Amino acid sequence: MSTRLSTHGRLIDRSQTIKFTFNGKWMRGHPGDTLASALLANDQMLVGRSFKYHRPRGIVASGAEEPNALVNMGKGPTFEPNQRATTTELFDGLTATSQNHWPSLEFDVGEINASLSRFLPAGFYYKTFMYPRAFWKHVYEPFIRQSAGLGQAPKDRDADTYEHFYAFTDILVIGGGVAGLQAAKAAADSGAKVLLVEQSSAWGGRAMVDQVDSETVNDTPVDKFVEEITAELAAMPNVTMRLRMMGAGVYDHGYVLAYERLNDHQPDADGPRHRLWRIRAKQTITATGAIERPLSFAGNDVPGVMLASAVRDYVVNFGVSPGDRTVIATNNDDAYLTAIILKKAGLDVPRIIDARPEGGGALMEEAKALGIRVDLGRAIAKVKGSRRVTKVQICNQAGEGGVLDEVACDAVAMSGGWSPVVHLWSHCGGKLLWDEGHAMFRPDGDNPPRGASGEGFVRCAGIANGAMDLAAVIADAHEAGKAAAKEAGFTPKRSKAPAATSRADAALLPVWLMPQGAKTELRAKSWLDFQNDVKVTDVQLAAREGFESVEHTKRYTTLGMATDQGKLSNINGLAILSDALGQPIPATGTTTFRPPYTPISMGAIAGEARGEVFQPIRRTPMHDWHDANGADWEPVGHWRRPYAFVRPGESVEAAVMREVTNTRESIGLLDASTLGKLIVKGPDAGRFLDMLYTNMMSTLKPGRCRYGLMCTENGFLTDDGVVARIDEDTFLCHTTTGGADRIHAHMEEWLQTEWWDWKVYVANVTEQYAQVAVVGPKARKLLEKLGGMDVSADELPFMGWADGTIGGFACRVYRISFSGELSFEIAVKASDGQAFWDALMEAGSEFGIQPYGTECLHIMRAEKGFIMIGDETDGTVIPQDLGLDWAISKKKEDYLGKRAQERSHMTDPNRWKLVGLETVDGSVLPDGAYAVGPGKNANGQRNMIGRVTSTYHSPTLGRGIAMGLVQHGPDRMGEVLEFPGTDGKTYKAKIVSPIFYDPEGEKQNV
């Protein structure tokens, strides 16, 4: 069994006991425990089920590489699936449940998959779910969906908060082990600004477990060295140190994301749970250490089989023994450390199984001296046990697995060597070398990720750089720190690395399969990827089936595609693949390392962007009034505009109809503040606008307005609006609601990059004004009542504008109409907007004034046949399609889009053109419906000859009206077209003029 020891446990505080639950059962632990160490202390080795076969899974590792111990954490608004128990710090009241089983962890129906494993080989899904085609949607898809996914998606809104932080530093050091600390010190000594981050809650890294008793730096024990250098760094003003902060990803030009877990270990604390640091570093040093590799032997997934390093971590850091009798299996000297630590802690180590015929160095002698039996040239043939290891069978490494001996045990500590954590180095293009001696990929210092200067901006330090013993680690880190400081523009101190001890290890023997010639039945039980259930035989099958690229094999077998992203499985898997393909490992290469290093929370990615600040909402000065007066909001870009003002007990549709009728019969108010307003000024302003608009603006007289169309160089309509000439040099251009920023940018682009010698300045004054459209036959009466300026037809005729005051408000009044009614658009300062609106509403009550929203505006403009950018246009429509030839100057030599509109496709007489559509029965045509014509196209579909672009019920006409684009439309007046709807009905509509209401303009021009 696994249990708490009375000794060891440098990270825990035994004076306090805290309680937590696992699958509803109360357990005890200490502050400083991880959830994994606390579970082991409570003899809870079984923590989950694998993805495909639902095999029992135990804790394998002690850090970020853990593939099995993924649990659901919390409840309700703090629920989160797939949390790694090995990196989850224990807190009082923690609740965790295991995943991927039904009905319970101990008894799981899905376990049947394991006995069917012969029938679920690599590529099972691809091979099985192909035929018959009719099964795809209703049989296979539900089945695959049912079995997909690990853990459950949270159902409640996340109760925590998150944030980003933009940090700039000269040097970022990722990893707070001895290498990271030494590199940070060497860099900081130059005066450079250093940010040092460590993903766990303690400084010192593996050295605090592996080297603390036996080795020294500067003749000081390693723990003392760590304590001293940490204190020195903390005292330096140019150094920032952060624990619980992981380097998540390295990106272009020195951009690094780091993930700080602030409150995971103290969930009741104030402030954000996670913080995503968006760092720009001149130089980044990754001192990210190495991850131990499992060995591939039959039954290596049985709970109780763990990494040798993890076993000693649990003993030293947490005072927890994973087993009473632990067998060690190894191909290198490191695992002997585990044996020695276990033995010294009073635990039984019945056997060390070393695959190397010659065995190890000094550590082996030390283990032997402690009375531990060492078998050389041997391998594990098979681990026996289902929910827990019961014994191991031993064979010759060189053979096929014939059993020589059996040893009873309840844990196996395995070590297949180490793989430097090169993820961050590789994210942005750093290349790797194959190190034959240590059988590992390590960074190729000559091919680093390169930044804006063309020079490398990442360097690795310590074991992450392939330096394998303490002396080499310290020396490498010292040099890395100095080199990074130099590259960042600082002068490193002339200093030597602290002298550290070295261990005299014997060479490692690469072992990719145990035993070397393992029979099929053993290989079929030798797991590579514990979480995704990929076995040695799966990779070998993939190779036989022609998946020779490691990237293809990965996707075919799902090797390395689990939440651990192959931290344990990748190297072993590609070694098996290389062997199957008969090529050396570097020829196979690795899969691509992609950020983040370990999964980070969605909340951290979103940062502050949730709830009220999920995205900006643009509000007009009268927004709050609208909200208080029944506004049914419509998003228009980031703006919110009232779609209609709905009265209590009224439907939205009824409100719209009421607003149209009221505006046409008496008077309506529209908040038009969102329309873009751009001031264009300069001696070349007229010439400039002549280039931007299709019609002539330079001939416009001061005091007058003109409607204009804007096209892109492609010829397509991009915006429209009314231009007012303010004076000889100054124009005010109105844009569509969503268009102000875009058209402002469009103007600046042409002024800055094409006609930079033209004397024109542009300013965006959209938000300076609250603009109110006063619309309807009684509009003038209202303004006259408020008084202040002459708004008579003589003084202020249609398409004129004037400055003045109304009701005491300084304003500019435009006589323009988008409704076909008598209409004044009045601009006042935004800060006066609400007061002005109030004044209009109050004075207008005797005239029956009502505010109206965007849908009423749309209906009124459609009744008049006015186009709307975004309805009648979609980026493929030219003004000529919309019958707007009258707004295209024939005199101008050039304007943006003119040459494009001469292209053969644009002048094709078959282009669809704007018409009005009237349903035969008065109903409303479905929006976007297509008109079908005779014959079929090459795909056997009916030919389409037009489509609906705008469609409404007109209360004015008491019937459905629509606009649409129809082939040869204007030549087909009176023809009835068929529009099949998505509701199964076919709608019939007659082609008519798009101007349904007051075609002579008598109502607006009074």
Partner 1 sequence: MLMLECPYCGVTADETELSPGGEAHLTRFGPGASDDEFHDYLFMRENPKGVHFERWRHAYGCGKWFHAARATDTLEVFGTYPAQTTKPPQEILDKISAKRPGWTWRDLK
Partner 2 sequence: MSKPVSALNGAQFHGIAEVRDLGLQGMITLRGDLTKPKLKSAVKSVTGLALPKTGGILSDETGSVAWMSPDELLLLVPYAEVDAHLATLQKDLAKEHSLAVNVSDARAMFSLSGPKAREVLAKLVPVDLSPGAFEPGMMRRTRMAQVAAAFWMMDEDTFHIICFRSVARYVFDLLTVAAQEGSEVNAF
Tokens at residue 848, please? 């029956």
* Rg of the chain, C-alpha, whole Å: 37
What angle (nearest 5°) sits at the alpha carbon of residue 969, between those of residues 965 and 973? Answer: 130
Give the one residue of 126, 135, 136, 761 binding partner 2; rule: CB under 8 A.
761
What angle (nearest 5°) sits at the alpha carbon of residue 50, between those of residues 547 and 559? Answer: 20
Q: Are 682 and 762 in contact (CB under 8 A)?
A: no
Question: Which positions from 188 through 207 interact with partner 2, judged by CB under 8 A?
Answer: 193
* Residue 757, C-beta contacts closer than 8 angstroms, at least 6 positions apart: none
Q: Are 949 and 963 in contact (CB under 8 A)?
A: yes
* Segment lying near partner 1 (by CB under 8 A), choices 64-72, 184-192, 308-316, 892-900: 892-900
Taking the CB of residue 255, how many other CB atoms lie within 10 A of it?
16
Q: Is 908 in the site for partner 1 (CB under 8 A)?
A: no
* Cα atoms in the 13 Å half-sphere on the side-chain side of 454: 0
Identity of the residue, 77 or 808, whose beta carbon is nearer to partner 2 in the bound complex? 808
Tokens at residue 70, please? 């993924």
Instruction: Work out what residue 271 binds among partner 1, partner 2, none; the CB cut-off runs from 5 to 8 Å by kind.
Output: partner 2
Size of the site for partner 1 (CB under 8 A): 28
Q: Are 671 and 636 in contact (CB under 8 A)?
A: no
Q: Which residue has 């997909």 as its token pair?
A: 148
Taking the CB of residue 630, how many other CB atoms lie within 10 A of it?
17
- Smallest distance, Å, CB 645 to partner 1? 35
- Burial pattern 391-429, b for ≥16 Cβ within 10 A else e, equals bbbbbbbebebeeeeebebbbbbbbbbbbbbbbbbbbbe
Q: Is 638 in the site for partner 1 (CB under 8 A)?
A: no
Taking the CB of residue 907, how many other CB atoms lie within 10 A of it?
11
Identity of the residue, 746 or 913, whose beta carbon is nearer to partner 1 in the bound complex? 746
Instruction: Work out what residue 390 binds among partner 1, partner 2, none; the CB cut-off runs from 5 to 8 Å by kind.
Output: none
- Smallest distance, Å, CB 607 to partner 1? 13
* Residue 240, C-beta contacts closer than 8 angstroms, at least 6 positions apart: 169, 193, 194, 195, 196
- Smallest distance, Å, CB 745 to partner 2? 12
- Smallest distance, Å, CB 28 to partner 2? 29
Instruction: Work out what residue 163 binds among partner 1, partner 2, none; the CB cut-off runs from 5 to 8 Å by kind.
Output: partner 2
3-class DSSP assignment, residue 224: helix
* Segment lying near partner 1 (by CB under 8 A), choices 64-72, 395-403, 446-454, 850-858: 446-454
Instruction: Work out what residue 15 binds among partner 2, partner 1, none; the CB cut-off runs from 5 to 8 Å by kind.
Output: none
- Smallest distance, Å, CB 285 to partner 1? 20
Instruction: Work out what residue 612 binds among partner 2, partner 1, none; the CB cut-off runs from 5 to 8 Å by kind.
Output: partner 2
| In 672-775, beta strands by DSSP E | 676-681, 705-711, 717-727, 730-735, 761-764, 769-775
Q: Is 141 in the site for partner 1 (CB under 8 A)?
A: no
- Smallest distance, Å, CB 758 to partner 1? 12
* 947: nearest Cα among 995, 914, 924, 986: 914
Q: Is 937 in the site for partner 2 (CB under 8 A)?
A: no
Instruction: Work out what residue 846 binds among partner 1, partner 2, none; the CB cut-off runs from 5 to 8 Å by kind.
Output: none
- Smallest distance, Å, CB 810 to partner 2? 9
Q: Is 752 in the site for partner 1 (CB under 8 A)?
A: yes
Q: Is 874 in the site for partner 1 (CB under 8 A)?
A: no
Give the one residue of 26, 107, 119, 756 binding partner 1; rule: CB under 8 A.
756
Type of residue at 543: A
3-class DSSP assignment, residue 645: strand
Identity of the residue, 612 or 1002, whose beta carbon is nearer to partner 2 in the bound complex? 612
Q: Is 608 in the site for partner 1 (CB under 8 A)?
A: no
* Segment lying near partner 1 (by CB under 8 A), choices 85-93, 169-177, 742-750, 853-861: 742-750
* Segment lying near partner 2 (by CB under 8 A), choices 78-86, 342-350, 607-615, 813-821: 607-615
Per-residue x/- marks for partner 2, 250-269, CB under 8 A? -------------------x
Question: Which positions from 828 through 847 interact with partner 2, judged by CB under 8 A?
Answer: 829-832, 834-835, 838
Instruction: Work out what residue 164 binds among partner 1, partner 2, none; the CB cut-off runs from 5 to 8 Å by kind.
Output: partner 2
Give the one residue of 13, 627, 754, 971 binding partner 1; rule: CB under 8 A.
754
Tokens at residue 298, please? 């039959």
Q: Is 608 in the site for partner 2 (CB under 8 A)?
A: yes
Q: How far apart are CA 709 and CA 817, in angstroms?
A: 16
Tokens at residue 3, please? 């249990």
| Helix H or strand E segment including 835 | helix 833-844
| Helix H or strand E segment including 275 | strand 274-286
Q: Is 451 in the site for partner 1 (CB under 8 A)?
A: yes
Q: How many contiguous H segments (helices) and E segments (strands) does the chain have?
A: 26, 51
Q: Is 763 in the site for partner 1 (CB under 8 A)?
A: no
Q: How far apart are CA 38 and CA 996, in angstroms?
A: 77
* Segment lying near partner 1 (by CB under 8 A), choices 94-102, 173-181, 184-192, 753-761: 753-761
Q: How far apart are CA 487 and CA 425, in angstroms?
A: 17
Q: Is 237 in the site for partner 2 (CB under 8 A)?
A: no
Q: Is 135 in the site for partner 2 (CB under 8 A)?
A: no
- Smallest distance, Å, CB 756 to partner 1? 4
Question: Which positions from 273 through 302 interact with partner 2, judged by CB under 8 A?
Answer: 275, 278, 280
Per-residue x/- marks for partner 2, 519-538, CB under 8 A? --------------------
3-class DSSP assignment, residue 59: coil
Q: Which residue has 């402690």 as its token pair?
A: 370
3-class DSSP assignment, residue 690: helix
**DSSP structural state of residue 413:** E
* Segment lying near partner 1 (by CB under 8 A), choices 140-148, 594-602, 741-749, 855-863: 741-749
**DSSP structural state of residue 581:** H
Q: Are 289 and 300 in contact (CB under 8 A)?
A: no
What's the burial of 50, exposed, middle or buried (CB within 10 Å: 0-12/13-18/19+)? buried
Identity of the residue, 127 or 253, whose beta carbon is nearer to partner 1 in the bound complex? 253
Instruction: Work out what residue 493 binds among partner 2, partner 1, none; the CB cut-off runs from 5 to 8 Å by kind.
Output: none
**DSSP structural state of residue 232:** H
Size of the site for partner 2 (CB under 8 A): 51
Q: How far apart are CA 831 and CA 506, in angstroms?
A: 80
* 91: nearest Cα among 218, 234, 261: 261
Identity of the residue, 252 or 874, whose beta carbon is nearer to partner 1 in the bound complex? 252
Q: Is 683 in the site for partner 2 (CB under 8 A)?
A: yes
Give the one residue of 10, 384, 759, 942 binding partner 2; rule: CB under 8 A.
759
Residues making contact with partner 2 (CB under 8 A): 161, 163-168, 193, 240, 269-272, 275, 278, 280, 607-609, 612-613, 615-621, 638-639, 679, 681-683, 759, 761, 763, 765-769, 808-809, 829-832, 834-835, 838
Residues making contact with partner 1 (CB under 8 A): 251-255, 280, 450-454, 713-714, 745, 748-749, 752-754, 756, 893-894, 898-900, 902-904
